Structure formats: structure tokens, C-alpha cells
Structure 1
Amino acid sequence: MKKRQQLQKRFVLFTVGLLIMALGITLTIVANLGAAPWDVLHVGLYYQFGLTIGTWSIIVGFIVLGTAGLIMKEWPKFGAYLNMILVGVFIDMYMLLPIMTEPVTWFGKAAMFLVGMIIYAYGMGIYLSAELGAGPRDSFMLALTAKTKWKVSNARRLMEVGVLAIGWLLGGPVFIGTIIFSIAAGTFIGIALPQCRTLTHKWLKDTMKDEKVEIERGASV
């Protein structure tokens, strides 16, 4: 019973984290100062072939996840599939909101982009702290490092440079924001993730204590 309740709470955290992360992604795209490397690819595919940005996020995620599975010769965790689908759906949901419009001024664009990066980092921190599995891109990165014995940082750089080049050739939004995101995103996530993990573990621990108290009360009655 405890394990089931813990899993339910982790699932809520996982979903909320993805919802927040998708909002951050959407804000960085709408700000129109250049997107993150993977989003440059998604937007470029959208420009060239239609559909939606969220749909391309799902399609690319499926391809990447499948490739990671082939490399590792095992099925990725359930959380990776859920991540792939929900992030794409949430991005399209946010894109439909009337308030999601590009700011007129440079200051407004910069503010939207910065807020988007912060929200993205904390959304990722929350979903990762739920410990239900990484997303398709991170799964591919881990598979690549396991197969090649490269450092994680080198594998990630290679992936993002390749994805960025393809996205740029497709007409994706490469600008100063792309450079800023590539340089600063790791730092933002590095700050957000420990905070989110601390709060998550505290919440889950408090929940277990509450359950223990209820059981003891029931036994005493």
C-alpha cells in the first residue's frame, strides 16, 4: 500500500514537472531570441513539413528513444515514453493560449526568455526528482556514453551540435538565445535540481511519517 501511494505521489510530481518544463520551453520559443538546440530542430521541422511543434517533439523523441533502445538492447523505462508524449502535448497546449504572443520590445523578449529558462530548469528538476525515468534525449545521451565510454558532457555537446546544425539547415530559430541557453542551461539545472530533490524527498518522507502515524492510531483503537 505504501509503495503504491509513493508511486502515485511520484507520478503527480513527474507530471507537474513536465507541465512546468513544457511551459519554460514554450516561453523560450515564443520569445523569438533563438531556441534550445532540440527546439531549433522541432521548430525547423514544423516550418518545413507542417504539423505542430509539439507533434515533432513527440516524433523526434520516439526516434531518439528507439535508437537508444537499439544501442542498449533493452526497452527504455516507462517514464521516458510518458515524458516524450506529455511534453509534446503540453507544448501544443501552451501554444494555443492567447497570451502566448511574442513581446514587442527587446527587453520583453529577453525577460520572457530568461523566465522561460528558469521555469524550464525547475520543471526539469521536479520531474527528475520524481525518479520515474529520464526523457528520450537524456536516455539517448546515456546510451551513447555507455556505448562509446565518452564523458557525459562530450556526448551531450556532440548531440546538441548535430541537432542544432540540422535544425538550422531546416530554418529553425538560431540566435543569441540559442547560445545563452546552451551555455547557461546546465548551470540553471544544476541549481534547481538539488533544491527540487530536497523538497521532494522531504515531502515523500513526511508523507510516510503521516501514514505511519495513521497506522499506529488505527492499531491503538
Structure 2
Amino acid sequence: MSKKFKWQWGSFFTGLIVMALGVTMTIKGNVVGTAPWDVLHIGLFKQFGLTIGSWSILMGLFIISATSLYLKRIPKLATILNMLLIGSFIDFFNWLLPEATIFMFEIAYFTAGFFVMSAGCALYIAASLGEGPRDTVMMIIASKGYSVKTGRMVMEVFAASAGWLLGGPVGVGTVILALGTGYIIQPSLFFFRRKLEEIIGESLT
């Protein structure tokens, strides 16, 4: 097993775990709303049961199937693992972490989750093993002549709107997560990728 293989996949799996922890923390603190896709997952959970993590996996599976047919290509292993593991880890952390019954604790959950989720996202992306299911949709929209920012906005407005109609928690936190995570992800991604390349001794891009 090569040094590059170990560090890339180690970064990928660690990033997914950290990201899922952050997502769960924002869900625990959803008194101010939560991320657009989690609004949808929570709305589906409220209406149809199962678990929030299960809906994350099912939505990811639907998106992977649709984008694979559209692009006429088999999804990368990392994309499939992203779909399966994020949802599984969300359910695990949702069971592990205590509920917040006091408003200030919910705000603390949300705030910490914002930073943890963003850092985890940057760490798994830094491994350069493949994008998540929802990122593929964003890139398809961008390929039609729109900016990546526009693609992300269209995707997240759709998810949040559908989730809100299903009873998901939309609030100022939804806007903060939709617009603010990029400001943490970008410098974190630069830092993690630079460190990985220093350790591995070659470029990952």
C-alpha cells in the first residue's frame, strides 16, 4: 500500500466523519434552521419516518443514479462511499450526541457545527478522490454555462424549498450555512491540500 494511497483515503474518511459530526451538530441546533439539504432530509423524516441519515443516503442514491444516466458514466467509488457513509455517520452521531433543550446550547451546537462541517468538507475534498453526489449536480448545472456559485444556489434553493414544504426547519441558519460555509472551506481546503502534498511529496490536482 503506497504512502499516497494511505494518506489520500485517510484524509477522505476522516473528512467524511468530521463533516457528518458537524452536520449532526447543526441539526441538533436547528432552532435557527439548518443546511438546505438537511432541511429536506428532516422534512422527509418528519413526513415518512426512517431516519435523517437514511434519507441522506436515499437522496444521494437517487442523485447518483440520475446523474450517472445523464452523464453516461459509472460513479467513482469515493462518490458512492460519500453517499453511504455520510448518512450512516449522521445517524450514529445523532444517537451519540445529547439533545439541546436550552436555546443557548442549540446556538452553540449550530455555531460549532458550522465550523466543524466546513472543515470536514475541506478535508475530504483535499484528498481529490471524487466529488459527493450533490456536488455532481452542481457541476452539471455549471456546465450549462452558469457559474458554480449559481449551480450551487439553484440546487440548494430547490432542496430548502422542498424541505420547507415538508416541514423541515428553515431559518436564518439555513442562509448562513448556504452562503457562509464556502468562506471556511476555501482556506481550509488550501491548508489541508498543501499539507497532504507536503507529506505525500506530489501534487494532488
* TM-score tier after normalising by the smaller chain length: over 0.9
Alignment of 1:88-99 (within 5 A): 88-97=87-96, 99=97
- The number of aligned residues is 201
2:120 matched to 1:123?
yes
CA distance in 2, matches of 1:25, 1:127: 14
Partner of 2:151: 155
Work out which of the residue numbers 135, 148, 164 in structure 2 matches 1:168: 164
1:138-195 deviation digits (Å, cap 9, x = unpaired): 012112322x222111111111111111000000011121111122111121221111
Work out which of the residue numbers 175, 194, 200 in structure 2 matches 1:179: 175
1:54-93 deviation digits (Å, cap 9, x = unpaired): 0000000011111211221211211100000000000000
Contact 2:7 2:196 (8 Å CA) reproduced: no
Alignment of 1:71-86 (within 5 A): 71-86=70-85
Alignment of 1:1-221 (within 5 A): 4-32=2-30, 33-97=32-96, 99-105=97-103, 107-146=104-143, 148-205=144-201
Q: Displacement, 1:196?
A: 1.3
CA distance in 1, matches of 2:10, 2:78: 12
Residue identity (%): 39
CA distance in 2, matches of 1:114, 1:192: 17
Contact 1:24 1:117 (8 Å CA) reproduced: yes
CA distance in 2, matches of 1:192, 1:52: 30
Query: Which segment is superposed worse, 150-159 or 41-50?
Result: 150-159
1:73-130 deviation digits (Å, cap 9, x = unpaired): 2112111000000000000000111x3312403x322222111011011101110111
Q: Displacement, 1:8?
A: 2.6
Contact 1:20 1:123 (8 Å CA) reproduced: yes
SS in 2 for 1:100: coil
Give the TM-score taking structure 1 as reference length.
0.86
Contact 2:12 2:127 (8 Å CA) reproduced: yes
CA distance in 2, matches of 1:101, 1:76: 36
**Structure 2 gap ranges (5+):** none
Give the TM-score taking structure 2 as reference length.
0.93
Contact 2:3 2:200 (8 Å CA) reproduced: no
CA distance in 2, matches of 1:157, 1:81: 23
Whichever of the two has the greater Rg, that structure is: 1
RMSD: 1.5
AA in 2 matched with 1:63 = F
**Structure 1 gap ranges (5+):** 207-221
